[in-house]
Amino acid sequence: MRNGVRSGLRYGVASAAARAVLDAVLATARYEVSGEENARQFTAHGQPVIYVLWHGRLLPLAHLHRGEGIVALISRSADGEYLARLLERWGFVPVRGSSSRGGSTALRELVRQARAGRCLAITPDGPRGPRQRLKEGVLVAGQLTGLPLIPVAASASRAWWVGGWDRFLVPRAFARIAVVYGAPVRVPRDAGAEELAALRSSLEEELNRLTAEVDARVGAA
């Protein structure tokens, strides 16, 4: 069997098993969501948005938004392949690329998908960190698409925190999961370097504030 076929089978089996386990675990969770009107004011009228979230908080948010056809930017790494396969099983449309590999191609595809009316999801501290430090690529996506950026954070009262640069959150059974959506952020089409830098700093600060808020709500360590 060729290596590519073997790898494909491995990714497929692993993502199917992960979905089955996570669906069972998260079916026991209780979501407490606030601020959803910040996104719904657009999505309820068929207007797409860009969800902006930290990489380590992706899992409970992806499960919450499963089946919505959201386009998610995922790195081309091996770990990214596992994640892309899982998100596909939850109804997402993965676009592969990052600041280190395939970024310009991925950005063009994100713009194309946005123009087709799809919401986007971007983790601006991925794929290698530093954790909870925002890279400007998400602002460029907002600038080119004209879509509002919606910061969103999640935490869980019972969770495993997987080691690695992002401290990846995996909720345990019967967890209470807090989710909060922040106010939309617009990136002006003509924003220059100085304005983008200011927006980067303020959006990073807001995402970290929201993350601290949800952690406090559920008593996360």
Amino acid 99: pLDDT: 59
Whether the per-residue pLDDT at 96 is higher than 70: the answer is yes
Exposed/middle/buried for residue 58 (C-beta within 10 Å: 0-12, 13-18, 19+)? buried
Sign of CA dihedral 8, 11, 17, 20: negative
Q: What is the pLDDT of residues 156-211, one digit of tens each?
A: 999 999 988 889 999 999 999 999 999 999 999 999 999 999 999 999 999 999 99
Q: In what order do the strands lie in the sheet with 120-122?
A: 30-34, 176-181, 149-156, 50-52, 120-122, 71-74, 93-96
Q: What is the pLDDT of residues 6-42, one digit of tens each?
A: 456 777 888 899 999 999 999 999 999 999 999 999 9
List 52's β-bridge partners, or say none. 122, 151
pTM comes to: 0.93
Write down all domains in the chain, each with its CATH number in brackets: 3-218 (3.40.1130)
Amino acid 100: pLDDT: 57
Q: By mean pLDDT, which of 16-25, 44-53, 93-102, 126-135 is the weakest?
A: 93-102
Amino acid 1: pLDDT: 40
Cβ-count burial 207-216 (b if 16+ within 10 Å, e if not): bbebbebbbe
